């Protein structure tokens, strides 16, 4: 058991920090067994602010990376005490370390945000999301959502309003419409990038955004044209072409 970096500037003396970390009980997510703490270090860099925004318990105190072997756990050290930060996967409902949640961005320039799902859950979602997108066109919930999804064009990257929430209420509302009954319908908002923290590399690994079942880039144009022709046959050429001619608002 040791500090990874003796020069870390914790908010109190190293002995108090070490004592607080030793007192932590971190359980294995699968077996429930208490894991041995091998080392710890003050968390540095942009991950600090990202976790502070994502988890209320991280807003105050020093964030500490705690090494138990396979997983890097995050603890908050504040006023002489340490507490492990648990992050629930919104899909499996498992309690995980924040480092086990996928991070996402909607723009090339960021910001990166902490998602509500683990990599394992993401891979399950990957298998079902494209059919969900297609259903929004072939069996739409309402005309307003049909119009928005059609105007967006082909979507091949992952989306989910629960797993990948928009950063602000204003952004969130841009991807919502109300149906005839006043119910809010969420418009597919594809992510730009996905990544997961790699403890052994001390860096991020990129995660594929492409949905299973979605056409490859070289097949996308032909796929979209075929789908549009099917929609013209079922809903009428004039309706489809009129919607496509309108600007996306």
**Whole-number pLDDT of residue 249:** 46
CB-CB neighbours of 160 under 10 Å: 22
Q: What is the pTM of this model?
A: 0.89
Q: Across-strand partners of 184?
A: 178
What is d(CA 45, CA 37) in angstroms, rounded to the nearest whole number?
Answer: 22
CA 184 distance to own-chain centroid? 21
Give the residues of the chain that fall short of pLDDT 70. 1-13, 247-249
């Amino acid at each position: 058991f040791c500090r990874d970096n003796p020069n870390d500037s914790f908010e109190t003396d190293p002995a108090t920090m070490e004592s607080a970390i030793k007192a932590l009980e971190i359980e294995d997510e699968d077996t429930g067994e208490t894991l041995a703490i091998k080392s710890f270090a003050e968390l540095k860099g942009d991950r600090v602010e990202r976790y502070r925004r994502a988890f209320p318990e991280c807003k105050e105190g020093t964030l500490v990376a705690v090494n138990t072997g396979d997983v890097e756990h995050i603890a908050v050290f504040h006023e002489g005490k340490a507490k492990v930060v648990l992050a629930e996967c919104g899909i499996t409902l498992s309690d995980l370390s924040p480092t086990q949640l996928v991070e996402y961005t909607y723009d090339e320039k960021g910001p990166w945000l902490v998602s509500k799902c683990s990599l394992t859950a993401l891979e399950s979602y990957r298998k079902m999301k494209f059919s969900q997108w297609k259903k929004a066109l072939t069996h739409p919930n309402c005309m307003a959502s049909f119009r928005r999804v059609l105007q967006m064009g082909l979507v091949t990257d992952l989306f989910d309003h629960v797993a990948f929430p928009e950063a602000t209420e204003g952004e969130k509302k841009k991807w919502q419409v109300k149906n005839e009954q006043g119910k809010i319908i969420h418009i597919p908002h594809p992510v730009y990038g996905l990544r997961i923290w790699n403890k052994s590399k001390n860096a991020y690994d990129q995660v594929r955004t492409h949905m299973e079942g979605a056409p490859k880039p070289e097949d996308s144009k032909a796929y979209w044209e075929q789908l549009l022709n099917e929609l013209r046959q079922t809903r009428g050429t004039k309706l489809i072409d009129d919607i496509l001619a309108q600007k996306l608002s």
